[in-house]
Amino acid sequence: MKRIVILVSGYGSNLQAILDSCKKREISGKIVSVVSNDCQAFAIERARLANITTYLVASKLNKKDFFNQKLLKIVDSCDPDLVVLAGYMKILDIEFVLSYFGRILNIHPSLLPKYPGLYTHRQVLKYRDTQHGASVHFVTEKVDAGPLILQAKIPVSCNDTEYTLSVKVKEQEHKIYPLVVKWFSEGRLEMRGNNQVWLDGCKLPPSGMCI
């Protein structure tokens, strides 16, 4: 059974989706700890309610180098097979990424490579896109630029707002993130040389899979 550590910063809805999937035994893994950089993150309470060990490494109270070292030390102590970023809003430093290269997943609220970073829903409306969605990818040195695994697309209507798009995209995130964690926990998903994604022994295209 794979050991999973989840990093969080906020409300924790994706954490909850993964917790629920584990509870249903859809994921062949165990969440061994949840680590947050924000003491006010509701995700911490979600983890505690599920009897999962929690850690706080407050990014606002620690200098950058000390924060990075402390985070890596805590995660190392949990001996994870997989690190999942679930609404984690702190950029991982290069040492952390290289320590768990090929074993870190992230989810982003856009159809990457479009709109990395913040305010994705606003940009979709600004540029009058007809499609929006969410992307799960492996984490590499560049933010939101790791190889794509799975995307979910939604249509954008003329009546959509940033709020309605956020609700629709979040609904898709809750479907695809537990699924990708499931694939990894079953040994079906891996990142090989040249940052190529393989699923069930087949190389995925650069755009990953799409639902």
pLDDT tens readout for residues 115-167: 999 999 999 999 999 999 999 999 999 999 999 999 999 999 999 999 999 99
pLDDT band at 29 (very low <50, low <70, confident <90, very high): very high
- 108 tagged catalytic: yes
The pLDDT, as a whole number, for residue 63 is: 79
The residue-averaged pLDDT of 102-116 equals 98
Q: Is position 13 annotated in a ligand binding site? A: yes
pLDDT at 65: 84
- The average pLDDT across 30-35 equals 98
Instruction: Please check the confidence at residue 18 and state whether its pLDDT lies above 80.
Output: yes
**The pLDDT of residue 60:** 73
Q: How confident is the model at residue 187 (pLDDT cuts 50, 70, 90)?
A: very high
Find out whether 112 is annotated in a ligand binding site: no
From 108, 121, 132, 174, active-site residue:
108
Q: What is the mean pLDDT of residues 192-206?
A: 96
State yes or no: pLDDT of 58 exceeds 90: no
Q: Is the pLDDT of residue 107 over 70?
A: yes
What is the average per-residue pLDDT within 60-80? 90
- Is 70 assigned a ligand-binding role in the annotation? no
Better-predicted residue by pLDDT, 40 or 58: 40
pLDDT of residue 61: 64
- Could you check whether 1-100 and 107-176+189-211 share the same CATH topology? yes
Confidence tier at 57 by pLDDT (50, 70, 90): very high
- The 3-state secondary structure of the chain reads CEEEEEEECCCCHHHHHHHHHHHCCCCCEEEEEEEECCCCCHHHHHHHHCCCEEEECCCCCCCHHHHHHHHHHHHHHHCCCEEEEECCCCCCCHHHHHHCCCCEEEEECCCCCCCCCCCHHHHHHHCCCCEEEEEEEECCCCCCCCCEEEEEEEECCCCCCHHHHHHHHHHHHHHHHHHHHHHHHCCCEEEEHHHEEEECCEECCCCCEEC
pTM for the full predicted model = 0.96
What pLDDT was estimated at residue 64? Answer: 82
Domain at 1-100, CATH class: alpha beta
Q: What is the mean pLDDT of residues 3-25?
A: 97
Q: Is 51 annotated as a binding residue?
A: no
90 is in an annotated binding site: yes
Please give the average per-residue pLDDT across 98-104, as a whole number: 98
Give domain limits for the chain: 1-100, 107-176+189-211
Confirm or reject CATH 3.40.190.10 for domain 107-176+189-211, answering yes or no.
no
Q: What is the mean pLDDT of the chain?
A: 96
Is 4 within any annotated ligand binding site?
no
Is the pLDDT score of 190 beyond 70? yes
